[in-house]
Amino acid sequence: MRPVVRAQAKYVRSSARKARLVCDHIRGKTVEEARAILAVTPRAVARDWSKLLESAVANAEHNHELVGEDLFVKAVHADEGPTIKRFRPRAMGRATKIRKRTAHLTILLTPKDR
């Protein structure tokens, strides 16, 4: 039974849809490949994914005595968080809603087979 290491970032100020576009790139990759991909991904949420990946690697090394380089991304997903609602004034006394979306990011790492 291989251990599964988990890290989660909640209330990230990005929409889940945009976060999913980045997480699809790193699913199933090794930690080294995922780091390289996230380093060159132009989207702002890639920094949040990168930080979460490093947190998961640190969890693996500290809590499970695993080697960070021997891990791969087993699962990665972005779920929708609560939406912060604001109003923008518009013409003729009207107002429209601004929805500031948030996301919950999760990453699962596991050692790769030798």
93 conformational bin, left if phi > 0, alpha if psi -120 to 50, beta if neither = left
Domains contained in the chain, number: 1
Whole-number pLDDT of residue 1: 80
Residue identified by tokens 């290491």 is 5
- Domain of 81 in residue numbering reads as 5-111
Q: Give one DSSP letter per residue of 19-60, joined into a string.
A: HHHHHHHHTT-BHHHHHHHHHH--STHHHHHHHHHHHHHHHH
pTM: 0.89
Q: Return per-residue pLDDT of the chain as tens, 114 residues.
A: 889 999 999 999 999 999 999 999 999 999 999 999 999 999 999 999 999 999 999 999 999 888 888 899 999 999 999 999 999 999 999 999 999 999 999 999 999 876
Domain of 76: which CATH number?
A: 3.90.470.10
